[in-house]
Amino acid sequence: MDRKTTSQWIYPVASSSVRHRPLLSSGSECEPTLRLSRRETLMLVLSLSLGLWALIWAAVSMLGVFGLR
C-alpha cells in the first residue's frame, strides 16, 4: 500500500506542487541561532534568579496576609 499522508489523499494537487525542505536529523551539526557571551549569560541567570525569588517572597507574603485572617 502506498504511504501517503492524509493531506495528500485529500488534496493531491496541492501536495504535489508544494516542495518541502528535508528535515534535519538530530545528529546534524547546526549552530544555535542565539549565542550569548559569558557576561550576558550571567546577567540572564541573575535576572531569572532574582525574579524567581521575588515571586517566592510575594507568594509567602500573600500567604501571610490571607492565611492569617
Q: End-to-end distance of the chain based on CA atoms, in angstroms?
A: 69
CB 36 within 8 A of CB 44: yes
pLDDT, position 11:
54
Which comes out higher in pLDDT, residue 29 or 63?
Answer: 63
pTM (two decimals): 0.46
pLDDT, position 34:
81
Q: What would the pLDDT profile of 49-62 be if each residue is shown by its tens digit? A: 999 999 999 999 99
Which comes out higher in pLDDT, residue 53 or 35?
Answer: 53
